[in-house]
Amino acid sequence: TRISKMGSSRLRAGLYMPAISALTYNEAIRAMGERLRERGKTGKQIVCAAMRKLLNIAYGVLKSGQPFDAKLALAH
């Protein structure tokens, strides 16, 4: 499976380090990364999935106006 080069390269570059940090310190994203590793995904694919998860979390927080809830993030 290849990682798509479509989309904003600046956005990808800006999300890379937050995704690495989230994989280390965020419980929900770390659990997702471990599940993906068990499925045989590569490190880059896991980081890209973490970047997407961060975007989805940020969008959800902005849209709902509710603070981030780790329990809700773990459910998805």
Q: What is the DSSP letter of 27?
A: H
Give the list of residues 6+ apart from residue 15 with CB closer than 8 angstroms, or none. Answer: 51, 54, 55
Burial call 51-75: b when 16+ CB within 10 Å, e when fewer: bebbeebeeeeeeeeeeeeeeebee
Q: Is the pLDDT of residue 75 over 70?
A: no
pTM: 0.86
| Residue 32 neighbours by CB distance under 10 Å | 20
User: What are the residue boundaries of the structural domains of the chain, listed by start?
Assistant: 9-75
Q: Is the pLDDT of residue 1 over 80?
A: no
For the segment 51-61, the average pLDDT, to the nearest whole number, is 93
pLDDT digits (tens, 9 = 90+) for 28-41: 899 999 999 999 99
With H, G, I as helix, E, B as strand and everything else as coil, classify residue 71. helix
